[in-house]
Structure 1
Amino acid sequence: MAWTSERTSDDPEAVGHPLEGARTAETVESTQPPSYGSTSEDLHEEGHEENGHRDSEDSITEEDAPLLNISADDPAVSPFRHFKIRTIRRLTYLFLVFSIIMYLLFIISTFFTIPKLNTHGGNFLIMMDMLIAIGNLGISLQSFAIPTKSGRIMNLVMIGFLLLNLILVVSVNKLRNYEGNVFSVLVNLWLLFSVAWIQFCNYMVERSRVTLEVQVSGHEFTGASRAKKSWKMWFSLVWALIVLAFLLALVVLLTLSILVDSYDSRLSPPGKYVQVEEDLYRIHIYCSSSSVAGNETDNGNYTGTTILLEPGSVSAETFARSLIVPEVAEGSRSSIENMRYCYWDRPGLGFSDNAPSPMSAGMAIDALSDGLNAIGEHGPWILVSEGLGTTYSRIFASRHSGSVTGLVIIDGYDEQYYVNQVSKASYGFGYWMHGFISPLGIDKQLGWIFGGRTSADRVYGRSQSVSGKYNLARFQEQLAAKTFTKNEIIAAADILPRYTPVAIISSQAKIREIPGWADRQRALYQGGVSDANVAWEIVENGNNVWDSANGRHIVSDIIKQTLEYSA
């Protein structure tokens, strides 16, 4: 209701609230601020009762209007006076709590997979999505009552990038397999919804604040809020904009990373995808042609021994292309010219999907066994492994002793060395942290732009560590090393027949660099794996004995000797 005071504007109580001399007329007609219990409809009616139907010339534009001589944090213009604004803020708190709970569940799922809360490409991308949602909701609550045009613009840009991310994940075939299951799509939609919700909140709060300022000032503004902001509010605004800009940068990096992954998806696997563990995930297995001269039946089926590769420090594709493929190409000059070979990507490596956690060496070998049976590969096998891959090949040999004719171990790990190296907490923490930031693709972008890295480098080559898939697989190795895998190694040593032929190949460079390496290699040869010792060769080469033609020839000769020993 309108009222008239004979006090001058110099009197701080002239209008019943702290306008502090904003009006300079001798007689001031004003609207008393409505009580905190007033609804938005009440405010509208009171404004109409006082001002009637204003002519357009009474409206003040954003450019011409002075700032209201009242603080923006004054209760008279607080948007929280409106019930709908208070309700919107409570819902935002609820969405924030939900996002935090889901984020914690995602973290737990990297240690012990919660059913339906994992993807085939690891959980790091959906974790980053949920973290961005938490950041957006949190910073919006911190500056909820003072929305800005800059914040709304950044939110709109963010929505555009997130829509592009969702389209790519759903439409690109390989991305859809790794990151596009129903659950992952729901997480992407939740992030998109959270940003759109903040945009809606900003609009509603700004509309509410301007409405209240109209009631207090007696003027109708066509622009944004005109109330003065205190230094605390300015600090809160600047901080909110900095955080929002940071979150927008994260979303842009996510989009660039997904674009690179989309480009890499054109790289096709050389072998077959095989569903394992009751179709929980896929592994990639490659076997060379079954028709090899000198070792085939009338119907073309291969009858000889197949080399089964198990790498450790490099990917299976790199191991095969560096060691076996050049030797086979040598023809009659190689000892393995007429032999088939197979290799596979362990879960999370190369072209294979990530497996649920925990994933021990024995669990991985179970998946390999299922995959080989599914494609009709039953051996006989000669196992060629290097580094920590030795652990996997020994477990495979113990579970398939009837079809394994021998083992060739290159710079192999014994049980204690494997546990000491792989089970280090720093080892697992480093891979987890690298996986955590991997969705941003910073290493991926730098390697592509400045390092000349190719799709093959990123999928299975020298830059495969840029993917979250790879880092989760290595983290799973560390997680299970001291418990499941250690017991599986002990069991394998007891089960493997002592008459299984074993040959050891060691790098002279590693013997010089690693204290006690020669003793560990000697122990493997002298009964550490089997009593049927074929040979122990020390190769004068770099850390990888297959990097030189001489090293490859030695490996192929040892494979031939091992086969002859078992005959």
Structure 2
Amino acid sequence: MVKIQTQSAEMNKPHHEEEEEAGPDQGTRSSLDYPPDEHTRLLPNRLESTPYLSPDDPAVSPYNLWSVRLVRFVTVVLTCLAFVWWVMMLVSMFITPPGLHARGSPFFSFVYASIAFLTLLVELLFFSVPSKSVRILSFVTAVLLLVNVIVILAVQKTRHEELWVGVVSVVWATLMAVWAVVADRTVQWGKTEEEERLTGRPETRRTLLEWTQVLLSSAALTLMAIAVLLMTTTLTLRAVDSRLSPPGERYWVDGNKYQIHLYCSGNKTDAKGNPATTVLIEAGEDAAERGLWQLAENAVKNGSISRYCFADRPGIAWSDVAPSPLSASMATDALSETLTRAGEKGPWVLASAGIGSIYSRVFSSRHRHEVRGILMIDPLHEDLLGRVGAPGRGFMLWLQGIISPCGIDRILGALIRGRGSADRTWGRSAYQSSGTLFAKLQESLVANSFTKREVVSTRAVLQDEKTPVVVISSGVQIRRDSEWEAKQRDLTHLTKNLEDWDIVDQAPHQVWETLEGRKVIENRLRKLVKL
């Protein structure tokens, strides 16, 4: 047996060893003189040299451990799932899939989905270079996201607005931040284990490339942590604003998908017991609560009108956001359903401003037998809807919406400028809210397509009607834009019965902001109501 083993060992000797043992007659050659082949050792002979590898040896890798490889595989799978969810949130801004509607706006859900996806992507890109800073930042982000979860679930209004889509998005982002901590810690453990096993000590040095990777990953996670901190503050402001009660009532519409806020004030009947003519206000670019509400209230106190109503369009003030797409016709359907549920039947005098005249005209074409007069304050013509639907404007609205969950302007307004809940809901800071930005984005996306076709069709319905029409135009706007003047003139021919066309010389687009403008509007409303 011993002999056989010896012969076998001799047969297995490398060729160059045989030559070295051949003696001086055959010459001696070092193993370094031969080019490497399939028999060449890639690792040093541990029986003849140090039993440890160099720290720079490629064999020293945490990927040697199955647990590290498993964590990487799970991270890849989670990243793919996060990307799919991110795409769904992106698509829901433009066309809302069934069941993915968020009543507050899809911007919060989209940002949470983005944070989850980016957290996993950063972890995957720098997987083999773990660092303590990455673990700390991921942990901080996870804690802040957990606070977001608590606020959304604890406050009835935020829970109503975000629905399951927002809750799932923020919970998913929280879990992914926790997973990033676990994955990075696992890689660090595996790296230390393999270095101690193969080199005899854990490696504390880093190459320039590794330091660059640590810097990039830390910078990315720092930005995400700051964004989540700002979102937490904005969400807190939303919770504070939920204590502000609407002046009217909110009614479910469109199969109970969302709620529309409606406010009415005044007497429903006149002195003879007949139904009073109600002025139905359709706001322009801002909420009706900002300016037109006070105008109507003063008109009631002065006896110019006896009753008025206004409803916030979807996404504005106290109304929920509607699913996308949302055209003028769809918004008008929601208004009609709201009035029916509230028991408001008219007759109506329609008072609209700016882009609100587009919605008011659609309403008048559908309820023409109940409409006794139409008053339009510096109205937007359908031929100018291209300005509202311009691609550049739509992109900027989308970009502002993506940033809006961080609420930088709203936070500074609350801390420095003393802006309160009313300012953020319908006042000076309302344009910064995610809901308002999303409503304007919806408006922009279909302005020059669906909405324009719907408004153009109302011409055929109203052109033979004898409904009195009053147009009140801004002198400032007319002097600034010659095309605006031509379109104002065209709108005076909306029906066969032009009652008045007033140009308030010094008034801006919001005509009611000047004393002369308020007087003209109130006088024309009084005249239309009494016709």
Separation (CA, whole Å) in 1 of partners of 2:287 and 2:184: 50
The total of aligned residue pairs comes to 490
> What are the Cα deviations for residues 156-200 of structure 1, in whole angstroms up to 9, with x where unaligned?
211111111110011111111112x12221111110111111111
* Equivalences for residues 226-265 of structure 1 within 5 A: 226-265=203-242
Aligned to 2:369, what secondary structure does the other structure show? Answer: helix
> What are the Cα deviations for residues 187-234 of structure 1, in whole angstroms up to 9, with x where unaligned?
111101111111111221111112112212445xxxxx4353222111
Q: Which residue of 2 aligns with 1:43?
A: none
Q: CA deviation at 1:355?
A: 0.7
Alignment partner of 1:335 is 2:317: no
- Which letter maps to 1:70? P
Separation (CA, whole Å) in 2 of partners of 1:162 and 1:106: 18
Work out which of the residue numbers 474, 496, 499 in structure 2 matches 1:531: 496
Bigger mean CA offset, 302-311 vs 536-545: 536-545
> What are the Cα deviations for residues 460-512 of structure 1, in whole angstroms up to 9, with x where unaligned?
11211211111111111111112211111122111125211111111212121
Alignment partner of 1:436 is 2:436: no
Change (3 A) 1:291 1:423: closer
Separation (CA, whole Å) in 2 of partners of 1:110 and 1:124: 8
Q: Which residue of 1 aligns with 2:11?
A: none
* Equivalences for residues 11-22 of structure 1 within 5 A: none
Work out which of the residue numbers 81, 88, 112 in structure 2 matches 1:98: 81
Change (3 A) 1:322 1:421: farther
Q: Which residue of 2 aligns with 1:109?
A: 92
- Which letter maps to 2:219? I
* Equivalences for residues 520-559 of structure 1 within 5 A: 520-525=487-492, 527=493, 529-543=494-508, 544-559=510-525
Separation (CA, whole Å) in 1 of partners of 2:473 and 2:164: 48
Q: Which residue of 2 aligns with 1:362?
A: 329
Separation (CA, whole Å) in 2 of partners of 1:241 and 1:518: 56
- Which letter maps to 1:335? S
Q: Which residue of 2 aligns with 1:316?
A: 288
Separation (CA, whole Å) in 1 of partners of 2:357 and 2:291: 14
Separation (CA, whole Å) in 2 of partners of 1:290 and 1:87: 72
Aligned to 2:524, what secondary structure does the other structure show? Answer: helix
- Which letter maps to 1:191? A
Separation (CA, whole Å) in 1 of partners of 2:215 and 2:527: 73
Q: Which residue of 1 aligns with 2:433?
A: 467
- Which letter maps to 2:376? I
Aligned to 2:93, what secondary structure does the other structure show? Answer: helix
Q: Which residue of 1 aligns with 2:123?
A: 140
Q: CA deviation at 1:28?
A: 8.9
* Equivalences for residues 215-234 of structure 1 within 5 A: 215-218=197-200, 225-234=202-211
Aligned to 2:145, what secondary structure does the other structure show? Answer: helix
Give the CA RMSD over aligned residues.
2.3
Aligned to 1:533, what secondary structure does the other structure show? Answer: strand
Q: Which residue of 2 aligns with 1:307?
A: 279
* Equivalences for residues 48-197 of structure 1 within 5 A: 70-71=55-56, 74-179=57-162, 181-197=163-179
* Equivalences for residues 376-387 of structure 1 within 5 A: 376-387=343-354
- Which letter maps to 1:237? V
**Are the aligned partners of 2:266 and 2:300 in contact in 1 as well (CA < 8 Å)?**
no
Q: Which residue of 2 aligns with 1:447?
A: 413
Separation (CA, whole Å) in 2 of partners of 1:530 and 1:427: 32
Separation (CA, whole Å) in 1 of partners of 2:114 and 2:89: 11
Work out which of the residue numbers 241, 256, 259 in structure 2 matches 1:282: 259
Q: Which residue of 1 aligns with 2:34?
A: none
**Are the aligned partners of 2:284 and 2:357 in contact in 1 as well (CA < 8 Å)?**
yes
**Are the aligned partners of 2:472 and 2:502 in contact in 1 as well (CA < 8 Å)?**
yes
**Are the aligned partners of 1:18 and 1:70 in contact in 2 as well (CA < 8 Å)?**
no
**Are the aligned partners of 2:64 and 2:194 in contact in 1 as well (CA < 8 Å)?**
no
Separation (CA, whole Å) in 2 of partners of 1:420 and 1:556: 31
Alignment partner of 1:410 is 2:410: no
Change (3 A) 1:412 1:229: same
- Which letter maps to 2:488? Q
Aligned to 1:236, what secondary structure does the other structure show? Answer: helix
**Are the aligned partners of 1:30 and 1:218 in contact in 2 as well (CA < 8 Å)?**
no
**Are the aligned partners of 1:506 and 1:539 in contact in 2 as well (CA < 8 Å)?**
yes
Change (3 A) 1:306 1:475: same
Aligned to 1:371, what secondary structure does the other structure show? Answer: helix
Q: CA deviation at 1:390?
A: 0.6
Q: Which residue of 2 aligns with 1:23?
A: none
Aligned to 1:357, what secondary structure does the other structure show? Answer: coil
Unaligned runs of 5+ in 1: 1-14, 20-26, 34-68, 220-224
**Are the aligned partners of 2:55 and 2:195 in contact in 1 as well (CA < 8 Å)?**
no
> What are the Cα deviations for residues 309-363 of structure 1, in whole angstroms up to 9, with x where unaligned?
001122111133342123333x3xx522xx1110011011111111111100010
**Are the aligned partners of 1:70 and 1:227 in contact in 2 as well (CA < 8 Å)?**
no
Separation (CA, whole Å) in 1 of partners of 2:120 and 2:44: 33
Q: Which residue of 2 aligns with 1:344?
A: 311
- Which letter maps to 1:531? K
Unaligned runs of 5+ in 2: 1-40
Separation (CA, whole Å) in 1 of partners of 2:119 and 2:210: 18
**Are the aligned partners of 1:311 and 1:319 in contact in 2 as well (CA < 8 Å)?**
no
Q: CA deviation at 1:517?
A: 2.7
Work out which of the residue numbers 171, 177, 195 in structure 2 matches 1:213: 195
**Are the aligned partners of 1:79 and 1:208 in contact in 2 as well (CA < 8 Å)?**
yes
Change (3 A) 1:427 1:218: closer
Separation (CA, whole Å) in 2 of partners of 1:546 and 1:348: 23
Aligned to 1:502, what secondary structure does the other structure show? Answer: strand
Alignment partner of 1:478 is 2:444: yes
**Are the aligned partners of 2:95 and 2:323 in contact in 1 as well (CA < 8 Å)?**
yes
> What are the Cα deviations for residues 353-397 of structure 1, in whole angstroms up to 9, with x where unaligned?
111111000100001111110111111110000111111111000
Aligned to 2:351, what secondary structure does the other structure show? Answer: strand
Bigger mean CA offset, 305-314 vs 203-212: 203-212
- Which letter maps to 2:454? E
- Which letter maps to 2:504? V
Q: CA deviation at 1:96?
A: 1.0
**Are the aligned partners of 2:52 and 2:199 in contact in 1 as well (CA < 8 Å)?**
no
Q: CA deviation at 1:146?
A: 2.2
